[in-house]
Amino acid sequence: MLRTALALIVKDKGSEAASNKNTLHAAIKQMVDDGALWESFGDWATHIRQLGNAGAHQEAFGPVSMDEANDLFALVQQLLEFLYVQPERVARARAQRTAVASPPE
């Protein structure tokens, strides 16, 4: 589920170059290279991607603990906060500031 969330984030927030990559790994790297993700978020996303592979191919990777899954969920929440919530808060604050700075005539 978290790996799928990453893939959807790449499609929504990634550049055309990132969206056109053949693998999620390459797409995440492209987003970092483009500056759409900080390197630390790219590292988190790569970790989530790797453990998502473990969920899909448990026989090859072994089990993922509940603690690890909870940690990854928290990381995805922070990624969503960075990419979606904070930019919207900034846009609202700017709009309010503009409305106050230039009252109607």
In this prediction, residue 99 has a pLDDT band, given cuts at 50, 70 and 90, of confident
Spell out the residues 6+ positions from residue 76 whose beta carbon is closer than 8 angstroms to its own: 2, 5, 6, 48
More confident residue, 79 or 104: 79
3 state DSSP class of 20: coil
- Domain locations along the chain: 2-101
Q: pLDDT tens, 38-61?
A: 999 899 888 888 888 776 666 777
Spell out the residues 6+ positions from residue 28 whose beta carbon is closer than 8 angstroms to its own: 6, 10, 18, 37, 42, 45, 46, 49
What's the full length of the chain, in residues? 105
Q: How far is CA 72 from CA 30, 43, 88, in A?
A: 21, 12, 24
Q: Which of 17-21, 22-26, 58-62, 63-67 has the lowest mean pLDDT?
A: 58-62
For residue 90, pLDDT over 70 is answered with yes
Task: Summarize the confidence of residues 63-85 as an average pLDDT.
Answer: 90
Task: Summarize the confidence of residues 10-15 as an average pLDDT.
Answer: 94
pLDDT at res. 1:
86
